[in-house]
Structure 1
Amino acid sequence: MTIHVSFPLNSCTSSKDVFQECVNWILDSPFTEFAEEDLRKLNNEEDFKRSSNQEVVEFSRSETPSFFVSSFRYTKHTANTSWITEISTRIEPDQHWISVKASIVTSTASDATLEVKKPLIVIRLIDRFGGGHDGDIPISLVPITLDESPLSLNIAKAVINGDSSCTLPIVYISANAASKHSVIPERLARKLCGMAHIVVEPSRTFSHILRRDVGSRNVYGGVVGIYWPKGSGVTVFRRGDKEVKTFEQEVFSTICEALSLLIPAKECSWDEVTHVKNRNAIELMKREGVSADEANQIVSLYEKEIAQNRDNIDILNREIERLNTIVRHLESKTPVQGGIIINTGDEEDFFDSEIFVFVLSALKDYIDKNTYANSRKEHVLRSVVNSNNYIDLHEQKSKILKESLRSYREMSKNIKDTLQDLGFNIKAEGKHWKLTYFEDERYTYVLPKTGSDHRGGLNAYADIANIAF
């Protein structure tokens, strides 16, 4: 496995700054055997290669009148495995791009799965020098936390609609009914810094408002969505019963896999440094007027190969853009969550697959009561119901509500927590509690603060269940 991170660094950062931080990164590692005096005397003014037992540090650099490129490679060997990390930099006017590639090379077959971790150097560079701007979004160690303002709503709309000019994916963390999140945004932002932007939704109410402006393409209710650059798609993650760290790792692994396949925004690698050196050598040969036929043929073949590779890349980029356009067109007509192409009008799910289950339940009841046995209508509708597996959360929620209110006398902490978990907002009003289902005033129930008799709780349950479930 390979992890490839490419991001803009603060444009004021020099190549020397990056080089020194790479040296510090190695010396701060508890696994290095390099002596400090061996690495401190190195600089980025010339190419070099240094070895110490099972470790190798290499550096290569080149430049043209318009840009500077360099690559710092650190390799750690064990008996059958080599751990390789490349930190490359490309400096242009007002831009400083960093590319970090970490990979594992094994010399023998093994059943053990070796995990490539994101190199700490990425966090160190951003933390020390600050990130640059990826289009209109800054590179940062902290998430972008939205509020209820119109500006935040516009930011969210740009993310969902693919109108942002950024090249990195955006992880959108939606809020559940209690305005909580299924991940720890600050921790995930640090884990994904330089690889993706993290945007955190403020509340479920914000999601309701956003939905109308993005054609229901926003994730919601605690779901996490990765919105890929240029509106090229969205990947949806539901936590379910997973531990938070396990769920965050799932999002991280998906980002890693995708970035390893994408073409970097800037040519920034050890190979690119070599290409620049070769191009410079060719230009020098031209200026010195080398007349040997063999030399000219070599130059011609090399330039032809480079031109052909660039043409192929241009063709592939155009094809990617064409496919992205098709994807954007199709996705603009399809809700992100739900799995069925049905216009739900002004209604949206209060929780995962709510409307979907309502529709299937209604179809099931209709089949049993209103279709003729072995008719075309029965076959079609039963096929739809039988082909869609679902868990009726309405029934589950109804049972939880019934047990909670069965012996209701007053609003205890356990009852209040249960009602809130089910999606009810609870507000004290005089001698009553006002229960509002998912903050929608259409579904409101007034519950006495003091229960009248043993039947009062079950009666309240029946009325609330009829309204909500």
Structure 2
Amino acid sequence: MITYTTKFPVADTFRREAFITTVIKWNQGSRFDKIEDIQWDGESCECRWEQDKVSLEIQEIPSEDIIASRLKKEDERGIWKTDFVLNYRQKYIAVSVALETTEFTTDFYPTYYPPFFVKMVIYGGYAGGDMGLPVRQTPHLIEDCGEFFGKVVRKEVRTMLPVVFIVKTVGGENPVDPGNLAFRLQGVAHVLCESEKKVELPELSENAEEGETREGKIFIFYPSSNKKSRVLNPSGRLQNQESLEDRIVNDIYNYMNQRMRQSIDTWDGIETEKVHILNRNLLSSRNAAEEENRNLYEVFGEQLEKMEASNNRLSSEIQRLTAELQGMRMKFSDREQIPALYLGDERDLYEGEIREIILEIISEYRKNCKEDTRRAHIISDLLECNEYKRLPEKRREQLKNALKGYRSLNGSLKSLLESLGFEITEEGKHYKWTYFGDHRYMTTVAKTSSDGRAGLNIASTIDKLML
């Protein structure tokens, strides 16, 4: 399980020696993971140190200007792997922390936190500029980077990190402390805020709905073109700055942890690439071999090319599945790490059914809640934090439209019913429509009908019993 990942630009000065020195200094300053008597000769970039259940390794690909380190340790939670990958040719660093559970794991909910190494890179002046905006641990004033912000809103630039913009309330206060938020998100997101002076931002006005103001809101813009920007409007809600800050941090971390990483930005990907380079070197020397071995080299080369092509496909698939698995874990994990409700014996008849029905129920209940009450605040928070696809409503509309004016069960209607999970059987002059084969949810329908309202009545029965 990935608990932390980021990728941000670094300065020209952050190269092999500075990287190794910082990694060793990071380990030597650790209270729990320190390896005693680490000695580095100042030249070798293939190193390994080990003590008890903690190991630290460094490897590089000189031809690609890439160097990486891995700290591996085992404790009661499982096996931790902390990886730093520096690409000093393309001037960025990729960081990840992952946990592999074991049979001795006692805690499946590790706290998401950045390794202190990220702070050391920023404190040491090694962080670079993300499309011109410096990566740092303090917030940026919007008047100093208004042009950059406009390009972010219009999606004219693609940053490595998300951008968070904090707008002051009508009373001139910040809904969260920009300094605290920037410190917690250093190396993971940029934080922008307003000074005492108001700055006109036509980009936000153009995207706002009529009558809507920006005061007191928090805007989150993601690098991915497929991820919509998010607007948090904490005004009028009973939540303190700390809980709102946690919510923003969790949202950013969840997004970063779900992003698919390039193979070369991972420790395992670097090891694979080193094998590929070794294999290519072996192939390049085949002309020096004796003539009687030429055929053997050709066979070997063909097999090797096939193997490398297969490895590339498998590596890409692993990355894709890792990102997908991480996304599913984030999607179904509770933000507070404690679920609001536990499932009983009932199981989904289709994916997300129970969750969608519950959300529909509380959504309807919300309409009748008195504003600014505790119940209204709790329900609004649940609806905002859970994606509600309105699947029961969509099924209801499909059935209503299809059954309107029902006379008999034609082919297209039967196909639609079966796609919605109905099993259709005949019994004399009637059909039995059973929802997902569960006989608790069965209705009897005449094979032919002359009543113009029969279809709507059937749809209503199905709605009340099954949806």
Shorter-chain TM-score: which interval? 0.5 to 0.7
**Which residue does the alignment assign to 1:89?**
86
Contact map agreement 1:168 1:197 (CA 8 A) in 2: yes
**Matched residue, 1:59:** 58
- Determine if contact 2:263/2:316 at 8 Å carries over to the other structure: no
Cα deviation, residue 57, structure 1: 0.9
Q: Residues 20-77 of structure 1, C-alpha deviation per residue, up to 9 Å, x if partnerless?
A: 1111011111223422xx213365624232211121111221132xx21222111232
Q: Which SS does the other structure have where 2:91 is aligned?
A: strand
Q: Which amino acid aligns with 1:246?
A: S
Alignment match, 1:168: 161
Aligned to 1:34: 35
State the secondary structure of the residue aligned to 2:169.
coil
1:216/1:142 CA distance change after superposition, 3 Å: farther
Equivalence map 1:185-200=2 (5 Å) = 185-200=178-193
**Unmatched runs of 5 consecutive residues or more in structure 1:** 317-382, 394-469
CA change 1:215–1:117 in 2 (3 A) is closer
1:246 aligns with 2:243: yes
**Aligned runs of 1:206-355 on 2, under 5 Å?**
206=199, 211-216=204-209, 220-229=214-223, 231=225, 232-239=227-234, 240-264=237-261, 267-289=264-286, 291=294, 292=296, 293=298, 295-305=300-310, 308=313
Greater Cα shift, 156-165 or 200-209: 200-209
- Secondary structure of 2:88's match? strand
Between stretches 229-238 and 138-147, larger displacement belongs to 229-238
Report if aligned partners of 2:54, 2:73 keep a CA contact under 8 Å in 1: yes
**C-alpha deviations, 1:70-95, integer Å up to 9, x for none?**
22111232245233211111121xx3
Q: State the match for 1:378 in structure 2.
A: none
User: Shift of residue 103 of structure 1?
Assistant: 2.1
Q: In the alignment, residue 117 of structure 2 is paired with which amino acid?
A: I
Query: Matches of 1:384 and 1:28 in 2, distance apart?
Result: 55
Residue 135 of structure 2 aligns to which amino acid in structure 1?
Answer: I
Please say which of residues 180-189 and 292-301 is displaced more in the overlay.
292-301
- Asked if the contact 2:150/2:201 (under 8 Å) is kept, the reply is no
State the partner residue of 1:49.
48
Q: 1:104 aligns with which of 74, 99, 103?
A: 99
Cα distance, 1:214–1:154 mapped onto 2, change above 3 Å: farther
In structure 2, list runs of 5 or more residues that go unmatched.
322-362, 374-467
Deviation at 1:122, TM superposition (A): 0.5
**Residue aligning to 2:441:** none
Paired residues of 2:138 and 2:179 also in contact (CA < 8 A): yes
1:229–1:46 Cα change, 3 Å: closer
Percent of paired sites with the same residue = 17
Give 1:201 shift: 3.1
1:136 matches 2:132: yes
Residue by residue over 1:426-448, the C-alpha shift from the partner in whole angstroms, topping out at 9 and shown as x without a partner, is xxxxxxxxxxxxxxxxxxxxxxx
Q: CA distance change for structure 1 residues 391 and 82 in 2, over 3 Å: closer, same or farther?
A: same
Q: Distance in 2 between matches of 1:48 and 1:154?
A: 45
Is this contact kept in 2: 1:63–1:276, CA < 8 A?
no
Q: Distance in 2 between matches of 1:202 and 1:265?
A: 38
In structure 2, what is the Cα distance between the partners aligned to 1:53 and 1:270?
Answer: 22
Q: Distance in 2 between matches of 1:122 and 1:23?
A: 13
Residue equivalent to 1:396: none
Cα 1:306/1:52, change in 2 over 3 Å: closer
Kindly state the Cα deviation for residue 154 of structure 1 after the two structures are TM-superposed. 3.4
TM-score w.r.t. the length of structure 2 is: 0.60
Q: CA deviation at 1:205?
A: 5.1
Q: By how many angstroms is 1:220 displaced?
A: 2.1
The residue number in structure 2 matching 1:391 is: 371
Task: Tell me if structure 2 keeps the 8 A contact 1:219–1:225.
Answer: no
Q: State the SS of the aligned residue for 2:127.
A: coil
Checking the alignment, whether the CA contact within 8 Å between 1:62 and 1:277 is kept in structure 2 is: yes
Q: CA deviation at 1:192?
A: 1.0
Runs of 4+ in 1 over 6 A off after TM superposition: 309-316, 383-386
Q: 1:204 to 1:391 in 2, by over 3 A?
A: farther
The structure whose RCO (Cα within 8 Å, separation 6+) is larger is: 1
- How many residues get paired? 318
What is the rounded CA distance, in whole Å, between the counterparts of 2:253 and 2:172 in structure 1?
28
CA–CA separation in structure 1 for the residues paired with 2:152 and 2:99? 34
Q: How does 1:417-456 map to 2 (within 5 A)?
A: none
Q: Secondary structure at the match of 1:162?
A: coil
The answer for the alignment partner of 2:75 in structure 1 is 78
